[in-house]
């Protein structure tokens, strides 16, 4: 029996995942309510994709999101899930169109929190121009989850024959980043309130589609990546391995907010390894690097910069420091910030 307190402050129970009335109600009253019954058909096990674009390659990506806390300055796990999926498609050269959504809800989650997060998913989807067409929910026992985990699949289309990838990178190419790095990782750390620190730093979580589209105007664009887990340093290692070359990053040119650097100095983190959720790392031919940088600044990326280059040498990432020395950026071996995205 539900007591009076439960009626006033409803929470997710195991029964919400059992396939019965409560599961139907949570689907209809939370997910379908916020995401729209026209697109999200909760009565079907599979949805038809309205594929009405010819001459295009259809791209698919999938991802999971376990950030803690669920809500943080600049976003929440819901907006993060949409942005993260949209961004994986965007840096592949695609225009995102459709999403599926799977929610793994822990027993005891406050229903009001769930409403806020699903509303955020709906709002962010509209802003990004994507539609949530299918989904599923599961409820796990209290203590077996982190409140709410989300898993997404994204589908988009890109021009047929677009050649974009690590295989195109060549010696002499330049590396561009669209804005300051480490904002998301530092903002989530502060939101956890584990270190007695506070501040106004916000996550950079956002759609990078306008950034990607600006860069796609250049045939000399080789590769794009959104530097999420592991940050810019991990992308540098990915490039170095694929190119069989040395990636040289220039510390004076790498934009890091003073607040992020201060948090890292206090807690012993390296901002080059912190997650970003609204940035693009791009590799372009040296001949168009300055022009590509200007294109980013014209679309609002005022702090974008050319941060490094590809040079002959062993497969490694090197940071040229502000003092004129250099240090090797080791490949990330563990996860110093679990559940960051």
Encode pLDDT of 62-73 as tens digits.
Answer: 899 999 999 999
Would residue 92 count as lying in a domain?
yes
**Is there a single domain that holds both residue 222 and residue 82?**
no
Tens digits of residue pLDDT in 303-337: 999 999 999 999 999 999 988 899 999 988 766 67
Which of 124, 159, 194 corresponds to the end of one domain?
A: 159
Give 16-55 as a DSSP string: GGSSSHHHHHHIIIIIIHHH-TTT--TT-SS--------S
| In a shared domain, residues 104 and 181 | no
Q: Are residues 146 and 174 located together in one domain of the fold?
A: no
Clarify whether residues 142 and 187 are in a common domain. Answer: no
Pick from 88, 123, 120, 127: nearest CA to 103: 120
Task: Choose one of 159, 175, 196: the last residue of a domain.
Answer: 159
pLDDT at 193: 73
Residue 268: Cβ within 10 Å count: 7
DSSP E strand stretches across the chain: 56-65, 71-72, 75-76, 95-106, 131-140, 148-159, 174-177, 221-225, 246-250, 281-284, 305-311, 316-320, 326-328
Q: How far apart are CA 255 and CA 290, in angstroms?
A: 17
Which residue, chain included where needed, has tokens 């190119």? 243
The total of structural domains in the chain comes to 2
Is 340 among the domain residues? no
Please give the structure tokens belonging to residue 274: 């912190």
Range of the domain at 287: 166-328
Q: Do residues 171 and 320 both lie within one domain?
A: yes
pTM: 0.89
Do both 155 and 252 map to the same domain?
no
Q: Which CATH number is 211's domain given?
A: 3.90.650.10
CA distance readout (Å), 26 to 33, 102, 282: 9, 13, 42
Q: Output the domain CATH number for residue 49.
A: 3.30.1330.10
Mean pLDDT per block of 10 residues along the chain (341 residues) reads: 60 76 84 79 60 77 93 97 96 94 96 97 97 93 94 92 92 98 93 73 96 97 93 93 96 95 89 95 98 96 98 96 91 74 85
Among residues 159, 193, 225, the one where a domain terminates is: 159
pLDDT attached to residue 138: 94
Q: Are residues 145 and 229 in the same domain?
A: no
- Residue 282's nearest CA partner among 127, 87, 128 is 87
> What is the C-alpha R_g of the chain?
21
Query: In whole angstroms, what is the distance from residue 129 CA to residue 113 CA?
Result: 24
């Amino acid at each position: 029996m539900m007591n009076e307190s439960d009626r006033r402050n409803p929470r997710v129970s195991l029964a919400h995942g059992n396939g019965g009335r409560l599961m139907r109600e949570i689907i209809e009253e939370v997910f379908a309510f916020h995401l729209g019954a026209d697109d999200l058909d909760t009565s079907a096990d599979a949805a038809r994709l309205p594929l009405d674009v010819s001459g295009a390659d259809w791209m698919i990506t999938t991802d999971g999101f376990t950030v803690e806390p669920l809500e943080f300055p600049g976003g929440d796990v819901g907006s993060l899930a949409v942005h993260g999926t949209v961004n994986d498609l965007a840096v592949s050269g695609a225009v995102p169109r459709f999403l599926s959504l799977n929610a793994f809800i822990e027993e005891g989650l406050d229903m009001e929190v769930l409403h806020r997060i699903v509303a955020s998913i709906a709002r962010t989807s509209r802003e990004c121009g994507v539609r949530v067409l299918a989904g599923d929910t599961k409820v796990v026992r209290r203590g077996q989850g982190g409140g709410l985990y989300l898993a997404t699949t994204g589908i988009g289309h890109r021009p047929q024959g677009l050649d974009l990838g690590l295989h195109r990178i060549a010696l002499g190419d330049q590396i561009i980043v669209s804005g300051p790095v480490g904002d998301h990782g530092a903002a989530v750390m502060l939101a956890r309130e584990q270190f007695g620190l506070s501040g106004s730093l916000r996550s950079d979580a956002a759609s990078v589609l306008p950034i990607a589209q600006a860069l796609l105007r250049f045939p000399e664009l080789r590769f794009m990546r959104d530097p999420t887990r592991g940050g810019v340093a991990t992308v540098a290692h990915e490039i170095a391995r694929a190119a069989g070359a040395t990636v040289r990053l220039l510390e004076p040119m790498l934009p890091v907010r003073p607040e992020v650097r201060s948090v890292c100095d206090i807690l012993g983190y390296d901002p080059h390894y912190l997650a970003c959720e609204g940035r693009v790392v791009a590799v372009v031919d040296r001949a168009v690097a300055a022009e590509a940088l200007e294109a980013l600044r014209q679309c609002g990326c005022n702090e974008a910069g050319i941060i490094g280059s590809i040079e002959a040498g062993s497969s490694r990432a090197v940071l040229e420091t502000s003092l004129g020395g250099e240090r090797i950026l080791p490949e990330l071996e563990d996860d110093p910030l679990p559940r960051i995205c």
